[in-house]
Chains A and B, each alone.
Chain A
Amino acid sequence: MEKVLLKGNEIIGEAAIRSGCKLFFGYPITPSTEVIEYLSANLPSQGGTVLQAEDEIGAINMCYGAACTGNRVLTASSSPGISLKQEGISYAAAVELPMVLVNVNRCGPGLGGLGPAQSDYFQSTKGGGHGDYRLIVLAPSKAQELYDYTMEAFDLADRYRNPVMVHTDGFLGQTMEPVVLKDRPEAPEVDQSWVVNGCKGREKRILASYSLTNEVGEENNLHWEKKYKEIEEKEQRWESFHTEDAEYLLVSFGTTGRICKSTVLNARKKGIKLGLIRPITLWPFPVKGIRPLVDQLKGIVTVELNTGQMIEDVKLAAECKVPIHLYRRQGGMLPTEDEILAYLEDIFQPDGSGEVHE
């Protein structure tokens, strides 16, 4: 299989092409711009369309229109741009349109900076736009996962007729790592009996989300809720790293998720039984990964690039049965593996005398 060295953002573009993505609508914004640049150079020759929209609002609504026709569609942006897209994302969730959204996070609020951040966790996982909806949110932590999860995002979007977000950051977007361009088995046949493509030989279809009466409105909400429950039940994903005998646990995703692996290995060299849960789906949050560990744990530290957002989900997952603390860097700064360990040692004073497996 072909192995390439590309920037993370370019990998996303390549994965989209190889996933059969036919259309990309976007607006340039650092640090996500290489996605639209890569696709502008490479998607048209594969029979696809790339359109630079007048603004982010235009881009997401073009995605909405294209998704209504049943073709695979992608957009990518960074935090302020994703804010602008929220109205359209809400509409797409309501009409149940499969589409993939990439948020190459930068730090905020406001214009913020370009450094890596996870400050859009709430926005991504709790809806983001108006109304009560959920996105499936995937959080890669390295280039290979940018490739794999982007492909997976298209399949999940089709399977559940739901927008799926790939939640990454500028660090992953700009870094180059080798990626194996795995072939993907043909995308599963999905029901397209809902798409709008001209009503030849069938009843006309309307894809819209207005509920004229409250009764209809509630019926719609119950329908969406049922789907979200099914996704919560079936699609929680996480990586467990040295959790079998863990007395202490780090929970961290994306760039910090991989940094924490080094922390775990360093801690184990010192005799501290530390493990890591790296959420792969931020929504649905991997409660199933954390809850079974609660009885064996003496403490949890979430490591985040924000003021503490995911920690709320970790507390719910652990039902607050374990002390849970936050170690965070902000504004585009990344923690080192050592400073995370120093914090954990300071907070929990772990007994480092235990025999541990590295």
Chain B
Amino acid sequence: MKKVFERTKGLSDAHFTFCPGCTHGTIMRLIAEVMEELNIIEDTIGVSPVGCAGFCQDFFTCDFVGAAHGRAQAVATGIKRSLPDKMVFTYQGDGDIAAIGTQHAIHSAARGERITSIMVNNAIYGMTGGQMAPTTLEGMKTTTSPFGRDPVSAGMPMDFPKIIANIPGAVYVASVSVDSPKNINKAKKAIKKAFQVQQAGLGFALVSILSTCPTNWGMSPVDSLDWLRENMLPIYELGVLKEIEEVKNL
């Protein structure tokens, strides 16, 4: 019998432990497929954050280091500077990279650190039970914004990849989504590019990926995808936000 589909070598046999409808699993598979296609699984060290994204260390088949909350890019910097020939990537939630770890994100980009960062943006703190994130939308109810995010007090949501795109050392910044097969394909392309940028030693690369959190949004998986499309896409513009010439030529 001809095998037409199999699990990517980038993922272990462990079963995903994410909630039904959560898109972390989809995103991880895309990264794993990219690692397999680029034949870099054995040369890659991933850095896991704190939060739901942190479980990724159990699912990928490459080496992994667990970082403190927000510190993944500093840890990745240490690994990359020690082993410049290895591939190093961080997998972080929006709270990890855009709130508690903002300084490391901005300065990894500023240094043009040869690492790849994947930011999973579900507009909420998932693991701790649905608190407000820097990416929580205006008016969105969370356990720490029970009456909806009030811009007067909590400010407006941050479009973090756009901030990073302004930094010279960031050579590739893309904002993608995994709400549809078409967008999933685009997301994979962006992830692949972000790893290729590192292979070519061109600088810092970030891919921000819009994701769902049905549990904490209080929705069904299908409704979550609709909600993402209706509410997040207008705020978080998709597309390649930055790509220097050398990256275009990859």
Contacts and interface: CB of A to CB of B under 8 A. Distances in A.
Interface string B37-81: 000011111011000001001101111111110010011111111
Contacts of A62: 74-75, 77-78, 81
Nearest to B75: A65
B82 interface: yes
A166 interface: no
A200 interface: yes
Given A53-B107, A66-B78, A196-B45, A209 B63 contact: no
Interface in A58-98: 58-59, 61-69, 71, 73, 87-88, 91, 95
Contacts of B78: 23, 25, 61-68, 73
Interface string A4-28: 0000000000000000001101000
A88 B82 contact: no
Given A65-B79, A197-B45, A210 B74 contact: no
The residue in A54, A55, A71 that gathers the most chain B C-beta atoms within 10 A of its C-beta is A54
A126 interface: no
B61 to A, nearest CB: 6
Nearest to A51: B81
Contact of B63 (A55, A67, A206): A206
Interface string B111-132: 0000000000000000000000
Interface string B71-100: 100111111111100100000000000000
A63 to B, nearest CB: 6
Contacts of A53: 74, 77, 107
Contacts of B44: 198
Interface string A185-209: 0000000000011111100111111
B86 A198 contact: yes
Contact of A68 (B43, B60, B79, B106): B79
Contacts of B67: 61, 64-65, 91
A277 interface: no
Contacts of A204: 12, 60-64
Given A58-B103, A58-B104, A61-B68, A199 B74 contact: no
30 contacts: A25-B78, A49-B82, A53-B74, A53-B77, A53-B107, A54-B103, A57-B71, A57-B103, A58-B103, A59-B74, A61-B67, A61-B71, A62-B78, A64-B65, A65-B74, A66-B79, A67-B78, A88-B68, A91-B68, A196-B45, A196-B65, A197-B63, A198-B43, A198-B44, A198-B62, A198-B63, A204-B64, A205-B64, A208-B48, A209-B66
In the A-B complex, the 3 residue pairs with the smallest Cβ-Cβ separation, listed nearest first, are A208-B66, A65-B78, A61-B74
